[in-house]
Structure 1
Amino acid sequence: MTDQAHIETALRALLVARGAIDAHARWIAQAGGQSNMVWHLRGADDVVCKLYLNTAHNPLYANDPTAEFACLDALAGRGIAPTPIGFHLTELGAVLLYRYVAGQQWRADGAAVADLLGRIQSMPAPNGLRHLPVDGADILAQGDRMAPSAALSDLRPQARLLPSPDLVLVHTDVVPGNLILGADGLRLIDWQCPAIGDGVVDVASFLSPAMHLIYTGTDITHKTRQAFLDALPTGLAARYHALAPAYHWRMAAYCQWCAQQGRAGYAQAGQAEQDLLTSLQ
């Protein structure tokens, strides 16, 4: 029996004993997660079971189970995120249960993503979320701490200091794998790294060629990119254009860091991010 099978068996027993899940549900392991183990539990109700395994330091993305549960709870019924069912602390790790979102991974509608981000940024954020840096110098400093290569350091843009933005709820990991299109519209899943910060964070995340390559194997198209930007509020789009070099340079540094950790695909993804960065300079 594999380690994953052992964990699944133990976790099932724990949750059934607590009366948290259907004892007869069929557990289907889900692919695509970068940090945690996730199953689709098919039974009387369709449920997602998420076990947090890797909560070690990541230079860009947190993996906070309590923050994810708080966001799902705050956004419940808003047509934005999955509906939470329960949160459990176990000897195997923290476990989040939420309603399964049936649908397909997002593919092409940039305007729909812009609309979803607008609705998220209009929501009050739950208490206790981390705060992100909002000016260009601090964003670039985060990239510096990932020890970028000399070649990438040569591409480091000048810092831009803009007026402070309104601080809003941000997801921070708006990538194709976390956007699910179902019968009720677009939903954003995997809320383990939310924050309070500049709405541009989610704009830059969605427009990252590296993240599109990782999750779809291809870059975002010009048509989708333009439809997304055109559907953003004018002020948010202008702020993105001003800060895009800093955000994409930081993402290129992150991709180099991931490649150094042995994560597949990130060397190629980082090159795509550098290509975009070069076109912006």
Structure 2
Amino acid sequence: MDGLQRELEESNFVSRGAAWTQLSGGRTNKAWRVDTADTSLVCKLFTSTKTNPLYPNFAVDEYNSQVALSGAGIAPDPIAFVQCEAGDVVLYQHLEGETWKSNTASVGGLLSKVHDQTPYEGLRFLPSGSNALIDQIKGILAECTQLDWTPVIKDPKIGPTKHAVLIHTDIVANNIVVTQQGLRLIDWQCPALGDATEDLASFLSPAMQYLYGAGPLNGGDVSLFLAAYPDKDVVIRYRMLAPLYHLRIAAYCQWKLERGDPDYAQALQLELSAINQAE
């Protein structure tokens, strides 16, 4: 961290004498809160360039998202994208608040606000519909060699979305900040132009709630969340695709487990149970 701090100070992105405090919560990148005499910012260092089948990790995408959403009351205010010796860095204004823990209806409203934004140029396009999900599932499982469960793929014959929108793709509790001005989303390193149901599926994944939140949501919280999302056609579409979304996350958990992350063992079991409940 000393080299990164020195480099940012010498480039005048951070003032000398600022207080650096490492932040917890992320599993991929490193982040620090940097307090100066007149402001607080976040320095996020992108440390991983490994290929991930679901969650790309690019600093420039996070910065571009923050710029595009500036003033919309959705994301942190951007400061700079900096290419440093230690890796790519995004600097942004620190959000005063707490990590989201309750009130799923408020998250439904937040996602509706995200999906109403005008998509900006340069977003990756994420294929949608049941065929695309099945292709993703098969692609992830093809990289796994230690399965002790049998994937059962059922195709609901749902076509691609006719209304691609800006999506975050990583809607987990740790990425939602409760501020005095309302909910805000951080960690925009894997945005896309795609199906709104992707974000609903991300938030409702029991594996992701287990790994990044207080545990899987109960049925009442799920119902409140879906009731608060105003586009009922999207909700209906999500319900039809839910078994495939759960299977895709299960495949991802298997992929992570085989790459040395034991936390995903319990997450896998939770997601496999959710498949049966969604059918």
TM-score, reference length from structure 2: 0.94
Map 1:238-277; keep pairs closer than 5 Å. Answer: 238-277=236-275
Deviations 1:153-180 (A, max 9, x none): 4332224223633010000000001011
Map 1:94-113; keep pairs closer than 5 Å. Answer: 94-113=88-107
Residue 168 (1) aligns with residue 165 (2): yes
Provide structure 2 residue ranges, at least 5 long, that are not aligned to the other structure: none
What SS does the corresponding residue of 2:198 show, helix, strand or coil?
helix
Aligned to 1:88: 82
- Residue from 103, 120, 127 that aligns with 2:121: 127
Aligned to 1:74: 68
Aligned to 1:210: 207
Deviations 1:14-44 (A, max 9, x none): 0000110121111111111121111011222
Runs of 4+ in 1 over 6 A off after TM superposition: none
Distance 1:191 1:143 in 2: 23
Provide structure 1 residue ranges, at least 5 long, that are not aligned to the other structure: 1-7
- Counterpart AA for 1:43: T
Distance 2:151 2:233 in 1: 30
What SS does the corresponding residue of 1:169 show, helix, strand or coil?
strand
Distance 1:204 1:166 in 2: 17
Q: Percent identity?
A: 37
Residue 235 to residue 140, structure 1, CA distance change in 2 (3 Å): same
Map 1:23-38; keep pairs closer than 5 Å. Answer: 23-38=16-31
**Do the aligned residues in 2 keep the contact of 1:137 with 1:159 (CA within 8 Å)?**
no
**Do the aligned residues in 2 keep the contact of 1:160 with 1:243 (CA within 8 Å)?**
no
Deviations 1:46-69 (A, max 9, x none): 100001110210011000111111
**Do the aligned residues in 2 keep the contact of 1:155 with 1:278 (CA within 8 Å)?**
no
Q: Residue 217 of structure 1: CA displacement? A: 4.3
What is the alpha-carbon root mean square deviation over aligned residues?
1.4
**Do the aligned residues in 2 keep the contact of 1:63 with 1:192 (CA within 8 Å)?**
yes
TM-score, reference length from structure 1: 0.94
Distance 1:114 1:170 in 2: 13
- Counterpart AA for 1:27: W
